Amino acid sequence: MGFDWNEPTSMFSKVEEEIKELQEALSNESTSDAEMEFGDVLFSLVNVGRYYQLDPELALHRTSVKFIKRFKKLEEMLKHDQINIDDASLELMDHYWEKAKQTENE
């Protein structure tokens, strides 16, 4: 219908615009507005994926699987080092997260 982006620069500008609108809605503590803006961000990203012939559902699925795998590895490393995950700081978990990422290709 012609109502589509024809180059990536405009699409990424739209994503940035939508993220700013989401941040504003979140700062106003309006859940309804924030959900609408969050949807706009996702919709804009789906359009980027469509432009590049990427499957957004497959991409999200693969990322979810990767996250679960890394998190399980993080849990294993914490347990091996006798650290209770409930006692681990975000910084410590981030350290183990990076270690888990490094072990993916081993």
Query: 34-90, pLDDT tens digit by residue?
Result: 999 999 999 999 989 989 999 999 999 999 999 999 999 999 999 999 999 999 999
Q: Count how many domains the chain has.
A: 2
47 and 24 belong to one structural domain: yes
For residue 2, being part of any structural domain is answered with: no
Give the domain range for residue 47: 8-54
Q: Is the pLDDT of residue 100 over 50?
A: yes
Query: Of 32, 54, 76, which residue constitutes the final position of a domain?
Result: 54
For residue 59, being part of any structural domain is answered with: no
For residue 25, being part of any structural domain is answered with: yes
Buried b (16+ CB within 10 A) or exposed e, 6-42: eeeeebeebbeebbebbeebeeeeeeeebeebbebbe
For residue 73, being part of any structural domain is answered with: yes
The residue-averaged pLDDT of 18-31 equals: 92
Q: Is the pLDDT of residue 7 over 90?
A: no
Q: Is the pTM of this model over 0.85?
A: no
